[in-house]
A and B are shown apart, each in its own frame.
Chain A
């Protein structure tokens, strides 16, 4: 007699276990879709049961569809805004492509929020500098919105954003606002210009010369791995201690709950210990940056 195949048996499980099943997703409805680049769409979601999603800026969701799978996505809006939340889905694989065929009114499945977001208690009361490269703008947007909504909690607020070329810029409506806003000292650049572009051209570190950053500033960095090294060099020139620098890391994630091992870097699980880490905590960890 072969051993029964696991979990295809009829044994009913206690309700409690089902409720607490960390793999059972919740439904969220898509209430707005915006195509932001060739590859990316911004989805505004609301929990199907109408409840408010509780999360911190910088936390991660596992977003998916049954039969396709799940992908980790950083929340791209602030909990200070209504009872909806935004995510940006970049069509790079089977799951994201399937999600990007959905439209307004369709249902997505989410788990989370998971992980440690930006350390608000540590950022409050100080100058804040956010440095976002490429799709790194998505998770940091949750903090940008937060800082704008609770402007009085922070002192000077500067934001650097770098994109590969003008076509790759995300959240263009927001960018237009930030360019005009008095609440944020906003600077942007593109690596490669095109005829429409009137702004700064060059790598993101060129933006450091555009404004004054105080050594007491709290810094948040999110971008492609290659960007970190160069940005940290500038931070060091400014004399900002590494415990005041926070990085939002990306790794391969599967479970989101600190079990599957895929996101492990050195002895940390990015999904549960992170994705935001103090730079001082990880700079000596091999494999981290």
Chain B
């Protein structure tokens, strides 16, 4: 598909038009403890959109896999499913988050298609924007670099004087009518490419090795109990590293009642494999069995999932190098580069 250019001065009108007609979700600033952080939120005004964000607190998966999501609602004996596709434009996603969406797309779809996710996903239009500012813990340039982002409808790049929009699908092309776009010149297209390429060199952290060599050595280290115990020594089992991760998708399911004690719902909530009870079952008479009892076992499980277990299915590691986990971990022990780089070659 061809590339299009919009002038800086016309961009606000484009956004305003889009927001007027569609639900648009994009990165906006949120100040907490005097620090500027970013979140994906519904845009009320185009001015709120912050395409110069470095990384959002939570990844965009929450748009399709909300932190809490009803699966079945009931009222007395009546029950109904809650598959609720909703059209929206997810505007300004960084490419690493789209790579993560590609993974959750596949995992929710394979074997038993989970329409609670996939129907929402299909109803969305995803627009990538180039990374203008790199977050302090990012390492996306050195992990799974061989894998390109798939699930997007258009790619927006900021260049001198405006933006280049490259639609990838008819849904992406449908955005053009909201703004004063002109066909991009070869120079503008080259500038867009350059904007995307230049930033890759700025990643502050680096994962060594290849996807294969890392998968091999992480798997081979499975039996090294002391290594994992040591790595997880300061772990609080808080699960923050799971919560902020764009490729984590585990959940718990709980039923609840409304005050009428007659109606309610079965709802899923994000869950974390790092928390203590994640793999615990009760056997009756107060007896329990926990299949990953120690912090080390749970910590190891996360790394096996990120670097090895899913590689065959996904074609690469289940980590996109966003660095959110590194930043979210109070003990600062969750950083995949720190952990994986320090595991010796098998």
Chain A interface (Cβ < 8 Å from any Cβ of B): 1, 3, 6-9, 11, 13-14, 17-18, 20-25, 39, 64, 66-70, 90-93, 107, 109, 114, 225, 250-252, 254-255, 257-262, 264-267, 272, 286-287
Contacts and interface: CB of A to CB of B under 8 A. Distances in A.
The 9 closest A-B pairs by CB, nearest first: A261-B250, A92-B284, A21-B81, A267-B309, A6-B66, A23-B71, A66-B74, A17-B83, A257-B112
Given A17-B115, A90-B284, A286-B223, A262 B250 contact: yes
A257 B111 contact: yes
B86 A9 contact: yes
A69 B256 CA distance: 9
Given A18-B80, A266-B309, 17 more contacts: A3-B41, A8-B70, A11-B84, A14-B83, A17-B115, A22-B113, A66-B264, A67-B74, A69-B254, A69-B255, A252-B278, A252-B279, A260-B251, A260-B271, A261-B251, A262-B278, A267-B309
Contacts of B301: 264, 287
Contacts of B107: 259
B84 A6 contact: yes
B250 A68 contact: no
Interface of B: 41-42, 44, 66, 68-72, 74, 77, 79-86, 107-108, 110-116, 119, 222-223, 249-257, 264, 266, 268, 271, 273, 278-285, 289, 291-292, 297, 301, 304, 308-310
B281 A7 contact: no
A1 B44 contact: yes
A8 B284 CA distance: 36
B253 A17 contact: no
Interface of A is mostly: loop
Among A6, A90, A255, A262, chain B packs the most CB atoms within 10 A around the CB of A6
B257 A260 contact: no
Contacts of A251: 279, 281, 291
A240 B72 CA distance: 47
B266 A69 contact: yes
Given A9-B84, A22-B114, A251-B291, A70 B281 contact: no
Nearest to A257: B112
Nearest to B256: A67
B79 to A, nearest CB: 6
